[in-house]
């Protein structure tokens, strides 16, 4: 061991690298000046960018191991708080000092081999440990203050943007829609995790370093209630109502949870037949399954010994076209319906206001239940696992109510708009169906028919309203909408979707 050779240790906390007076450059300069004054030779530098609040600094521990081997005379450190901001590390250094290893602090003239110098260093080490302990407590207090405000104080999950400390996370315009698509795809039950992972990579959703998301990464996203507006701290399981804009609805999150928990089996659609599971067997009530044979598509009941026969897809299309031609509304009928429905909007608005009041009362009741639950937890009436589970359930219910309130406030004319579109389609139903693609035809059949069944060889498609035009009808005389001929109330109920 050379009598003038020393190690040099410098450290800076990651969050404070730029703090004046303790930067790595300033620490290094101070140690070099100290070494030059005392004719010490620095043979190796240990530079660490870690907090000393918790033990486990790899370079510091490696340096201690080398010092125990007595390859050098000792170690030079800038200040006591750069080495010992927890008492265990200071105790490790104290053992080395007791064994004759020299520890010098460039900014503090302490003789650690004297009783007074050692006492002074011990006091400074205790003060440094208390400082970091208080700093940790204040940091935790600040974090919980943000959480209670509904602000997520950590790094934003994929799909959201960081906007600085203490600010609400906002939806990322690029990755946000992709994350929403991930939830929607998984909720269908057709995308197991490995397939969903590849599908989202193909759509452009990747991890922080640009690589494809791992299976665990996909699973973490799908389990995170942050995307529906609830903050959950994984370390302790506590939940908070977030103020950030949700990326998905509570209903979609619940659907994803149902698939993830196995309540909805994964299924893969091999053939997207136009009328798949749209028509049922009139005898056993099972959905007809599509299959392709000799260039044609057939739908058949899969129940053994069921006498229901198959039906070709083109026959279903022809039957729907004939029905829609009879159902198509004359322009005058559509006009009268619009006038009648316009007059009923006041009643709809009144119902909407009543529902708004009910939702607000439910929201207030939910908040009161949260307060009572917290009081029960503080009074130790309920234990912590029950408290967490019930609190998260109440927060999810609160989000659902808030979502419904938002819909009522922002989309007050949504029902009227749906009615308008319904009447527009009904007014040109024949031509709309004739010019539609297979998926659009499926939507029209679902919208305008009910009780779709195949009874052995007979296809039944019941219209959703009872008005049927006749080819000879060219005008609509007064009172033609009344009586038994055209049940206008049934038609009105069918097309006015509340």
Phi, psi of 206, rounded to the nearest 5 degrees: -135, 170
Give a yes or no: residue 217 inside a domain. Answer: yes
Q: For the residues of 91-149, what is the DSSP string, one character each?
A: HHHHHHHHTT-EEEETTB---TTSHHHHHHHHHHHHHHHHHHHHHHHHHHHHHHHHHHT
From 316, 309, 242, select the one nearest 273 (Cα to Cα). 316
Residues 253 and 172 in one domain: yes
Residue 198: which domain range? 160-260
Give a yes or no: residue 58 inside a domain. Answer: yes
Q: For the residues of 340-368, what is the DSSP string, one character each?
A: HHHHTHHHHHHHHHHHHHHHHHHHHHHHH
Residues 115 and 185 in one domain: no
Here the CATH number for the domain that contains residue 172 is: 3.90.1750.20
CA gap 225, 204 in Å, rounded: 23
Q: Dihedral (C-alpha) 255, 259, 265, 266: value to the nearest 10 degrees?
A: 100
Helix pair angle (175-187, 250-260), 10° resolution: 50
Here the CATH number for the domain that contains residue 66 is: 3.40.50.1390
Q: What is the CA radius of gyration of the chain?
A: 36
Q: What is the pLDDT of residue 472?
A: 35
Residues 112 and 205 in one domain: no
Give a yes or no: residue 338 inside a domain. Answer: no
Give a yes or no: residue 48 inside a domain. Answer: yes
Q: What is the pLDDT of residue 483?
A: 32
Give a yes or no: residue 485 inside a domain. Answer: no
From 223, 149, 237, select the one nearest 186 (Cα to Cα). 223
Residues 124 and 13 in one domain: yes
Sheet of 449-455, strand order? 280-281, 449-455, 458-463
Give a yes or no: residue 144 inside a domain. Answer: no
Residues 13 and 111 in one domain: yes
CA gap 361, 359 in Å, rounded: 5
Residues 254 and 195 in one domain: yes
Query: Final residue of a domain: which of 229, 260, 291?
Result: 260
Residues 169 and 224 in one domain: yes
Give a yes or no: residue 219 inside a domain. Answer: yes
Give a yes or no: residue 443 inside a domain. Answer: no
Query: Final residue of a domain: which of 386, 412, 438?
Result: 412
- The low-confidence residues of the chain, meaning pLDDT below 70, are 1-2, 13-22, 50-56, 82-86, 135, 263-272, 342-346, 409-417, 466-498
How many CB atoms neighbour CB 221 within 10 A?
Answer: 22
Residues 34 and 75 in one domain: yes
CA gap 201, 195 in Å, rounded: 10
What is each CA distance from 227 to 245, 256, 304, 399, in whole angstroms?
A: 8, 12, 46, 11
Residues 101 and 9 in one domain: yes
From 67, 28, 65, select the one nearest 48 (Cα to Cα). 28
CB 301 within 8 A of CB 288: yes
Domain count, the chain: 3
CB 43 within 8 A of CB 5: yes
Q: What is the pLDDT of residue 185?
A: 92
Q: How far is CA 138 from the centre of its chain?
A: 29
Query: Final residue of a domain: which of 383, 412, 441?
Result: 412
Q: What is the pLDDT of residue 438?
A: 81
Residues 27 and 100 in one domain: yes
Q: What is the pLDDT of residue 186?
A: 92
Query: H or E stretch including 461?
Result: strand 458-463
Residues 90 and 11 in one domain: yes
Tokens of 86: 């927890």
């Amino acid at each position: 061991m050379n009598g003038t050779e020393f190690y040099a240790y410098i450290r800076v906390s990651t969050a404070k690298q730029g703090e004046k007076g303790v930067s790595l450059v300033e620490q290094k300069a101070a140690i070099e000046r100290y070494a030059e004054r005392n004719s010490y030779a620095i043979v190796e530098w240990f530079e660490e960018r870690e907090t000393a609040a918790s033990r486990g600094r790899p370079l510091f521990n490696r340096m201690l191991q080398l010092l125990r081997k007595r390859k050098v005379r000792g170690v030079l450190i800038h200040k006591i708080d750069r080495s010992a901001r927890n008492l265990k590390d200071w105790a490790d250094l104290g053992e080395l000092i007791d064994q004759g290893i020299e520890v010098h602090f460039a900014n503090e003239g302490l003789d650690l081999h004297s009783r007074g110098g050692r006492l002074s260093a011990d006091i400074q080490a205790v003060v440094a440990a208390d400082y970091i302990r208080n700093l940790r407590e204040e940091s935790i207090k600040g974090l919980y203050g943000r959480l209670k405000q509904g602000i997520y104080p950590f790094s934003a999950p994929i799909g959201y943007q960081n906007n600085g400390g203490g600010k609400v996370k906002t939806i990322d315009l690029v990755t946000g829609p992709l994350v929403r698509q991930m939830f929607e795809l998984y909720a269908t039950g057709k995308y197991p995790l490995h397939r969903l992972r590849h599908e989202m990579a193909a759509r452009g959703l990747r991890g922080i370093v640009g690589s494809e998301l791992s299976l665990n990464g996909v699973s973490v996203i799908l389990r995170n209630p942050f995307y529906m507006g609830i903050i959950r701290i994984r370390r302790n399981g506590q939940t908070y109502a977030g103020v950030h804009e949700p990326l998905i609805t509570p209903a979609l999150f619940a659907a994803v949870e149902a698939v993830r928990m196995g309540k909805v089996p994964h299924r893969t659609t091999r053939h997207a037949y136009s009328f798949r599971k749209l028509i049922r067997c009139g005898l056993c009530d099972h959905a007809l399954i599509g299959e392709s044979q000799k260039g044609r598509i057939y739908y058949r009941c899969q129940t053994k010994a069921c006498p229901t026969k198959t039906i070709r897809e083109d026959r279903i299309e022809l039957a729907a076209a004939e029905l829609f031609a009879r159902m198509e509304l004359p322009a005058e009928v559509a006009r009268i319906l619009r006038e009648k429905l316009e007059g009923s909007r006041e009643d709809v608005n009144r119902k909407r206001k009543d529902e708004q009041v009910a939702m607000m009362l439910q929201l207030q009741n939910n908040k009161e239940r949260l307060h009572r639950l917290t009081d029960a937890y503080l009074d130790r009436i309920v234990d912590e696992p029950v408290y967490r589970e019930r609190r998260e359930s109440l927060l999810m219910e609160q989000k659902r109510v808030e979502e419904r309130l938002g819909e009522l406030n922002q989309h007050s004319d949504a029902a009227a708009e749906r009615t308008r579109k319904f009447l527009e389609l009904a007014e040109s139903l024949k031509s709309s169906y004739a010019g539609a693609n297979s998926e659009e035809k499926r939507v029209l059949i679902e919208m305008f028919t009910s009780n779709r069944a195949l009874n052995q060889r007979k296809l039944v498609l019941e219209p959703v309203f009872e008005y049927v035009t006749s080819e000879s009808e060219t005008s609509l005389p007064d009172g033609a909408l009344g009586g038994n001929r055209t049940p206008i109330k049934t038609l009105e109920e069918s097309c006015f979707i509340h």
